[in-house]
Structure 1
């Protein structure tokens, strides 16, 4: 699992669960675990069970409480939507009922196997241990929270299934007794204290169900399991269908929704980009492997050693522009392939500060009177692309937030202001053909120029293309910073001030902000209009998604930017942007297509 020194990346570590995950999963799975958190789970087979939700880069698992088995809930490949539901759960009470976060996940179910039993099947591909058949389980061993049927205290509720859990205290969640969920003795066990409550969906909060004084409850685990397995067997003949998983995060400081959204966004972006041959080559993914399937990673120690060597070369004094460019290319490519290097990047801090300073000097501090040169644009683009990659899949790295929020967000402010530029600025023209030795050597490293054997583009056209490429990269980096802001916006900690509103307020005084945002809006209109009839490539689709998230943030969190977009682009989005046209341009096999269409619809609604 991702770590900070000897500890976990999670602010509150559950030692028992972490030990269970380390023992019962392969290292490749354990190292990709992003977060885990206890919550109440409700689905078509599980009803109000207190479990741990375990998030990796590609899947979500459910672990019993306390952990005994690990079951795959769904893959992010099949997720269609993740939403917060504004309601008050009937089975909770008091402050837990008011502060609970209800998360609804809509996903497409896997095609059932011949034997069914989807919800009990452990993912063997992920290196998880096999689950013993129910008939071999001890009678006092919990199965998905000990599912019981019937309730002797109320005759009109004997037919209802009530799901149980053990009485253990989580390191990151309040005692289950405070949630109003039931607690039953498991021999051997200690006498319980005041019994908690469970409200059924048909009863009012004023009429709680109580545990019988003798503590004896009929155990019909086998019958319930049999009934559920039969139901799955019946469903095995059906086609794929949408299903819902409801998670009730009972911790008042829960970040489960943020982790789910972040993991899902990262997955759909990565899986879409891996459809691009160039990006797949960067990540060393084989063409026939599933999204995210990379070659085995090198050890942490070896990665740290190589990163230290590369950092020392980058930070050496008197380094030439060309050498700096080649080293940054190496760093960017390595970051694509190795998430460990991305974590080390934030922990060192020196390279990040150096890149921000170099971006400031290259794009804003070293311009000539005539404008920017080709090598300045190329270097700036590579810096921004490298920074954007470093943000990917490092949400649970504390060093990232610590570095960006230090000194009231000084480094984050510098990064934000440095990446914004005027999309209509004058570029330097030094003749009709490219004749600058540095510019030429750098341009030749760009793959799209290698396909031009004549290489007779004019300086003006070439620099304009490079400027467009930089603006694309800047949009991607700003998207990553806004994701960081969304996480901070939902965090109750006073130290987490890096919210979306704060980011846009920092950018507000920039003289080219409105033209920069206007350029991003123009690109969205251009891509989704009838002027371009071809399908969008994977890279274009991801860029469209990122730009739509940027425009949506401006409309939702900044009055001035929202008003600017409404006054300048309302008619364009009304008459030129059609959802039907967008559906035709976004291939359905891109996982990012449906989320992008929802963003476009939201933007159109807010622009009316």
Structure 2
């Protein structure tokens, strides 16, 4: 009720979570408050709440460090259910907003503070810190959902489930769902509330990948291109639904109840899409002079395959994060990353998938002296994370990578190459550097998993 009174409706709908925390700063020593997380900002309020202060813009966050999984300054049982973390951030975005708003004053924030510029990020040694509960509290779901958003989501589902939908109609509806979920976090909650839409999207993806169920697509490159485009949008939408929904219990319940569907999705993601052999059929018409047309379609198909591979990598990374949580409190169902890697190593396509990951990393680090774009930097981090998971949690895949790709790591995948390609001003540069250190350590012959 307090948040609803003090926030505009569109801001209130964007709240992700709130939880109690202890604030330690220059002016406050172990003050008990509440931290509120939205899709753009972190807020702070008193206990009991009296005012709401914007304290950090998420775009200013440089890094998040775990100081202690069991805070030493707390007593049991509080120590068992809380974490001591530090957020390193600059004040660029929030400072600009404060300058534009007379109602915003100077904020005291319980996180480790830093000044960031385009060249270097410096960490202060004695910055303020805070602790948070491991089990976040969510605002009341019913208070967050507007009838309009629920109706929109229900309408999209109903239209997607129609049996006579064309491929283009399905693609348009999935795009509409993706855009709506990007704008309103509530749609992600609605997506995971039941398993039907998750299963529908995975089954629909399986109609197109790794090969088409429509035999006509085996001879029609135009149709196959449309199917690959649909597969890309489905994969992107699933990735969006996984992203930033860790605290949604309905997501965990759905995945636990639909492990078969989840494993089918994993197989699809690591399998290379199949495309028609050389042919001259274009939209059902035989092309007499087909050489240039075929070359054009071949290039388009290869471009789509590359784009799909990148989106599949991003989604696999999100699923790895789910399994990284190990036991998710779902009774006998244990989502452990070792279990996932055991399943993946039993799938024949995984060898080719790992080979492609290594190939893409080599290409990203050695293609040119040009700096990586932000999207390329994120993809590189995800690729390193997948390699680390293979090296650490799968003995078979670890031996395969060490034996077959030692030359790639010796000449192309190393720290100097990464430093040349990643700008220091990127927030993801530091965690990517640390991740590569881990991967290189695991590549050593006697590296322990």
Contact 1:429 1:460 in 2 (8 A): no
Question: Which of 325, 330, 337 is 2:171 aligned to?
Answer: 325
Name the SS for the 1:497 alignment partner: coil
Which residue of 2 is the match for residue 314 of structure 1? Answer: 160
Which residue of 2 is the match for residue 246 of structure 1? Answer: 129
Which residue of 2 is the match for residue 606 of structure 1? Answer: 442
1:435 is aligned to 2:282: yes
Name the SS for the 1:515 alignment partner: helix
Question: Which of 459, 465, 468 is 2:306 aligned to?
Answer: 468
Question: Which of 380, 386, 389 is 2:240 aligned to?
Answer: 389
Contact 1:107 1:242 in 2 (8 A): no
1:340 is aligned to 2:157: no
What is the CA-CA distance between 1:384 and the residue it aligns to?
Answer: 1.3
Trace 1:441-590 onto structure 2 (pairs within 5 A).
457-486=295-324, 488-489=325-326, 491=328, 494=331, 497-529=334-366, 531-590=367-426
Contact 1:429 1:459 in 2 (8 A): no
Which residue of 2 is the match for residue 398 of structure 1? Answer: 249
C-alpha distance in structure 1 between counterparts of 2:18 and 2:315, whole Å: 27
C-alpha distance in structure 1 between counterparts of 2:326 and 2:431, whole Å: 21
Tell me: CA distance 1:337–1:90, structure 2 relative to 1, closer, same or farther (3 Å). Answer: closer
C-alpha distance in structure 1 between counterparts of 2:185 and 2:253, whole Å: 18
Which residue of 1 is the match for residue 263 of structure 2? Answer: 413
1:46 is aligned to 2:23: no
C-alpha distance in structure 1 between counterparts of 2:72 and 2:245, whole Å: 36
C-alpha distance in structure 2 between counterparts of 1:248 and 1:563, whole Å: 40
What is the CA-CA distance between 1:95 and the residue it aligns to?
Answer: 4.9
What is the CA-CA distance between 1:476 and the residue it aligns to?
Answer: 1.2
C-alpha distance in structure 2 between counterparts of 1:309 and 1:471, whole Å: 31
C-alpha distance in structure 2 between counterparts of 1:574 and 1:59, whole Å: 42
C-alpha distance in structure 1 between counterparts of 2:105 and 2:65, whole Å: 31
Contact 2:210 2:274 in 1 (8 A): no
Contact 1:430 1:459 in 2 (8 A): no
C-alpha distance in structure 1 between counterparts of 2:2 and 2:99, whole Å: 16
C-alpha distance in structure 1 between counterparts of 2:297 and 2:348, whole Å: 26
Trace 1:190-229 onto structure 2 (pairs within 5 A).
none
Tell me: CA distance 1:61–1:334, structure 2 relative to 1, closer, same or farther (3 Å). Answer: closer
C-alpha distance in structure 2 between counterparts of 1:78 and 1:131, whole Å: 18
C-alpha distance in structure 1 between counterparts of 2:109 and 2:91, whole Å: 19
Name the SS for the 1:92 alignment partner: coil
Contact 1:334 1:341 in 2 (8 A): yes
Greater Rg by CA: 1
Which residue of 2 is the match for residue 15 of structure 1? Answer: none
Trace 1:114-125 onto structure 2 (pairs within 5 A).
none
C-alpha distance in structure 2 between counterparts of 1:570 and 1:343, whole Å: 44
C-alpha distance in structure 2 between counterparts of 1:469 and 1:111, whole Å: 32
C-alpha distance in structure 1 between counterparts of 2:77 and 2:153, whole Å: 47
1:550-584 CA deviation, whole Å, 9 max, x = no partner? 22222333333333222223332232124343333
Contact 1:26 1:126 in 2 (8 A): no
Tell me: CA distance 1:87–1:313, structure 2 relative to 1, closer, same or farther (3 Å). Answer: closer
Contact 1:541 1:592 in 2 (8 A): yes
Which residue of 2 is the match for residue 170 of structure 1? Answer: none
Contact 2:15 2:37 in 1 (8 A): yes
What is the CA-CA distance between 1:523 and the residue it aligns to?
Answer: 0.6
What is the CA-CA distance between 1:144 and the residue it aligns to?
Answer: 10
C-alpha distance in structure 1 between counterparts of 2:333 and 2:8, whole Å: 34
Question: Which of 75, 78, 87 is 2:60 aligned to?
Answer: 78
Contact 2:88 2:123 in 1 (8 A): yes
Contact 1:109 1:242 in 2 (8 A): no
Contact 1:574 1:604 in 2 (8 A): no
Contact 2:43 2:52 in 1 (8 A): yes
Contact 1:40 1:50 in 2 (8 A): yes
Instruction: List runs of 5+ in structure 1 lacking aligned partners.
Output: 1-18, 114-121, 134-142, 146-231, 233-239, 260-297, 441-453
1:377 is aligned to 2:214: no
C-alpha distance in structure 1 between counterparts of 2:145 and 2:251, whole Å: 21
Tell me: CA distance 1:472–1:94, structure 2 relative to 1, closer, same or farther (3 Å). Answer: closer
Question: Which of 82, 86, 107 is 2:89 aligned to?
Answer: 107
Trace 1:282-301 onto structure 2 (pairs within 5 A).
300-301=146-147
RMSD value over aligned CA atoms? 4.0
C-alpha distance in structure 2 between counterparts of 1:112 and 1:366, whole Å: 49
What is the CA-CA distance between 1:386 and the residue it aligns to?
Answer: 2.0
What is the CA-CA distance between 1:421 and the residue it aligns to?
Answer: 0.4
C-alpha distance in structure 1 between counterparts of 2:363 and 2:109, whole Å: 51
What is the CA-CA distance between 1:388 and the residue it aligns to?
Answer: 1.3
Instruction: List runs of 5+ in structure 2 lacking aligned partners.
Output: 114-120, 139-143, 445-449
Count of equivalent residues: 418
Contact 1:566 1:607 in 2 (8 A): yes
Tell me: CA distance 1:354–1:242, structure 2 relative to 1, closer, same or farther (3 Å). Answer: same
